[in-house]
């Protein structure tokens, strides 16, 4: 007998009430107890601390000069622009991650959405400092994101399509942990070098990361996405891959070329 009759459809629904999937009814918050999540976070933090040491050893431009005459304005400006582009491009793909997370863990998706609400328009802060460094907005708008920035965003797209949202969230934990630990000190040095009005945007961004405790916010989401021991191992792979991609940017042609045609540039 056909299932197209009304009575058969009704009875089929009663027999099989689990066809609707992927809306987070299980409220899957992962396999880690609170204690295990704390221990795993300490492991991740120690791992990133080692990455910071390697970064400072291997990336010459990680260090700011002591004198203004040694300051590379072109590279500085390009760094601000690419940071703004990263935020602009990643807010699109990170928004897509929310829908994937919501399918398994509404609690993690809610935290991730709150984090995105905090973060996704912060491109303006970096652009403010770029304009304050003397670059005309019409010049800024002529620049395409660097290939390395596009590759980073492309890697996010690959992760979402083929590995899930864990890698995307791991990137934010890496970045937020490093920012809270390092960024205010870097802004202080920059302020002494360039003057405080030149770094207002970067300081506001660093304050937000610290005062809103972005590392803990992202961690609360990330820890709920750990479903297996293999997921824990994957987080370290993601940290390594993001470090490689960011180092490609620091050593890439675009950052070295900087922003040369800087309109009303100060230097
Ligand atoms: Fe942040």
Kindly indicate the confidence band of residue 255, based on its pLDDT and cuts at 50, 70 and 90: confident
User: What angle is formed at CA 208 by the lines to CA 203 and CA 198, rounded to 5 degrees?
Assistant: 15
Give SS3 for 28: coil
User: Greatest CA separation found in the chain?
Assistant: 86
Ligand 1 centroid from CA 209, angstroms:
4
Q: Where are the domains of the chain?
A: 31-58+67-253
Cα 208 to averaged position of ligand 1 atoms, centre (Å): 6
What does the alpha-carbon distance between residue 40 and residue 27 come to, in Å, rounded to a whole number?
Answer: 21
Tell which residue, 198, 233, 250, 256, has the closest CA to residue 75: 256
| Residues measured by CB to lie within 5 Å of ligand 1, the ion | 209, 214
Distance 214 CA to ligand 1 centre (A): 5
Q: CA torsion sign, 186 to 188 to 192 to 197?
A: positive
6 C-alpha vs ligand 1 centroid, how far in Å? Answer: 53
Instruction: Count CA within 13 A, CB hemisphere, residue 45.
Output: 13
**What's the gap in Å between 27 CA and the centre of ligand 1?**
26
Q: CA-to-CA distance for 198 and 129, rounded, in angstroms?
A: 6
More confident residue, 62 or 260: 62
Q: How many CB atoms lie within 10 A of CB 216?
A: 14
Of 139-148, 152-161, 223-232, which range is least confident? 139-148
Look at residue 1 in the predicted model and tell me its pLDDT: 45
- Helix H or strand E encompassing 35: helix 34-58
Give the mean pLDDT of the chain: 91
Give mean pLDDT, residues 51-64.
91
Per-residue pLDDT, 254:
83
- Pick 205 or 7 by higher pLDDT: 205
What local confidence, expressed as pLDDT, does residue 267 receive? 44
Measured between alpha carbons, how far is 131 from 137 in angstroms, rounded to an integer? 7
CA distance 249 to 81: 13
Two tokens, residue 151: 């590759």
Q: How far is the CA of 16 from the centre of ligand 1 (A)?
A: 44
- CB–CB of 249/148 below 8 Å? yes
pLDDT in tens, 101-131: 999 999 999 999 999 999 999 999 999 999 9
User: 3 or 145: which carries more pLDDT confidence?
Assistant: 145
The CATH superfamily label for domain 31-58+67-253 reads Heme oxygenase-like (1.20.910.10)
Question: What is the pLDDT confidence band of residue 258, given thresholds at 50, 70 and 90?
Answer: confident
* 187 Cα to the center of ligand 1, angstroms: 15
Handedness of CA 93, 115, 181, 160 (dihedral sign): negative
Question: Quick one: pLDDT at residue 252?
Answer: 82
* b/e burial code for range 62-81 (CB count within 10 A of at least 16 → b): eeeeeeeeeebbbbbbbbbb
User: What pLDDT is recorded for position 237?
Assistant: 98
CA distances from 105 to 54, 97, 172, 205, 263 (A): 35, 12, 18, 29, 49
- Whether the model clears a pTM of 0.85, i.e. scores above it, the answer is yes
């Amino acid at each position: 007998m056909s299932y197209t009759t009304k009575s058969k459809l009704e009875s089929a629904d009663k027999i099989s009430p689990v066809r609707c999937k992927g809306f987070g009814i299980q409220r899957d918050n992962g396999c880690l107890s609170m204690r295990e999540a704390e221990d795993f976070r300490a492991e991740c933090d120690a791992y990133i601390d080692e990455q910071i040491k390697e970064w400072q050893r291997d990336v010459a431009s990680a260090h700011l000069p002591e004198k203004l005459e040694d300051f590379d304005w072109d590279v500085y400006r390009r760094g601000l622009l690419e940071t703004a582009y990263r935020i602009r491009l990643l807010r699109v793909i990170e928004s897509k991650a929310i829908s994937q997370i919501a399918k398994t863990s509404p609690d993690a998706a809610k935290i991730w959405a709150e984090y995105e609400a905090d973060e996704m328009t912060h491109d303006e802060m970096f652009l403010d400092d770029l304009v304050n460094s003397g670059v005309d907005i019409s010049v800024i708008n002529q620049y395409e994101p660097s290939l390395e920035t596009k590759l980073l965003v492309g890697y996010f797209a690959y992760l979402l399509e083929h590995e899930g949202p864990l890698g995307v969230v791991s990137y934010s934990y890496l970045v937020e942990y490093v920012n809270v630990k390092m960024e205010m000190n870097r802004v202080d040095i920059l302020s002494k070098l360039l003057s405080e009005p030149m770094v207002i945007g970067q300081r506001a961004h660093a304050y937000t990361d610290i005062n809103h405790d972005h590392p803990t916010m992202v961690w609360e989401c990330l820890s709920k996405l750990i479903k297996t021991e293999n997921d824990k191992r994957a987080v370290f792979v993601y940290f390594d891959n993001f470090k490689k991609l960011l180092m490609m940017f620091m050593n890439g042609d675009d950052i070295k070329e900087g922003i040369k045609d800087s309109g009303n540039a100060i230097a």
